């Protein structure tokens, strides 16, 4: 009798644990939105170069890599998503001498990168409110260099450039409720090598 009761208890506990683990898994129809900040290699290099500048009249301010991603589960393993990222380097030059008028002015230059891409993720590890995944992101980076200088001979010229972007990534999500959690991603490529923030399930397929 005790043996039967013990086995029945094990079966019931196993079913409850499996049901709990399933709550964190990727289900067809799930829509997850991630919002976070990160850091990118190219802007770190810009920051390193600019920190060596000795001109006191020039200041630099680099923003974090802001990211917004939405992933739709196509099944229990694969999800397909859209992603957008933005980062900027704001350069302020005080007492710039206009070469045409001779007057001094303050010039603000904004060197920014807007990245838009698609990504496919493969979810391979599931746990209690835990999801691990890897994937590929392919997109386009739009670089914009703009300034408010009145001098047409200002050294840094306005312009736009577009480049294709590629990224391999590994990520983890931990949900502290059924619909809200935290995520962390490590990556090779554009637009970041590390990124973290909040995750929200806006629609559920189960």
Q: Identify the domain containing residue 129 by its residue range.
A: 2-203
Contact 184, 196 (CB under 8 A): yes
pLDDT in tens, 97-145: 887 788 888 888 899 999 999 999 999 876 668 899 999 999 999 999 8
pLDDT at 34 over 80: yes
Express each pLDDT in 146-178 by its tens digit.
888 888 777 655 678 999 999 999 999 999 998
Count how many domains the chain has: 1
pLDDT digits (tens, 9 = 90+) for 42-67: 999 988 887 777 676 888 899 999 99
Averaged pLDDT for residues 177-203: 94
Residues 6 or more apart in contact with residue 143 via CB below 8 angstroms:
111, 112, 113, 160, 161, 162, 163
Cβ distance 115 to 155 under 8 Å?
no
Higher pLDDT, 114 or 96: 114
DSSP letter at 64 equals: P
SS3 122: strand
Question: Residue 187 pairs with which residues in a beta bridge?
Answer: 169
Residues 6+ apart with CB under 8 A from 115: 83, 84, 85, 86, 139, 140, 141, 142, 165, 190, 191
Is residue 18 predicted with pLDDT exceeding 60? no
* Sequence-separated (6 or more) residues with CB below 8 Å from residue 52: none
What does residue 55 show for φ and ψ, rounded to 5 degrees?
-75, 110
The reported pLDDT for the residue numbered 98 is 81
CATH of the domain at 43: 2.40.160.20
Tell me the C-alpha distance between 144 and 152, whole Å. 17
Q: To 10 degrees, the CA torsion angle through 165, 166, 170, 172?
A: 30
Residue pointed to by tokens 């086995």: 7
In this structure, what token pair is assigned to residue 176? 């502290």
Lowest mean pLDDT among 20-24, 94-98, 131-135: 20-24
- DSSP for 124-165, written as a single string: EEEETTEEEEEEEEEEEEEEEEEE--S-TT-SS--EEEEEEE
């Amino acid at each position: 009798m005790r043996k039967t009761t013990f086995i029945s208890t094990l079966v019931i506990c196993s079913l409850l644990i499996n049901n709990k683990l399933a709550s964190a898994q990727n289900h067809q129809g799930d829509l997850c939105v991630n919002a976070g900040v990160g850091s990118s290699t190219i802007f770190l290099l810009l920051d390193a170069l600019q920190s060596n500048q000795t001109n006191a009249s020039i200041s630099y301010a680099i923003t974090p890599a802001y990211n917004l991603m939405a992933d739709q589960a196509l099944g229990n393993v694969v999800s397909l998503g859209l992603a957008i990222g933005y980062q900027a380097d704001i350069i302020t030059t005080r007492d710039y001498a206009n070469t045409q008028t001779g007057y001094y002015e303050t010039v603000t230059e904004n060197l920014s990168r807007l990245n838009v891409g698609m990504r496919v993720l493969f979810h391979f590890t599931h746990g209690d409110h835990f999801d691990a995944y890897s994937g590929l992101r392919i997109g386009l980076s739009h670089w914009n260099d703009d300034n408010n200088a009145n001098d047409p001979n200002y050294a840094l010229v306005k312009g736009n450039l577009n480049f294709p972007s590629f990224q391999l990534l590994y990520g983890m999500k931990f949900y502290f409720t059924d619909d809200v959690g935290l995520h962390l991603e490590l990556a090779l490529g554009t637009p970041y090598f590390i990124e973290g923030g909040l995750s929200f399930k806006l629609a559920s397929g189960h």
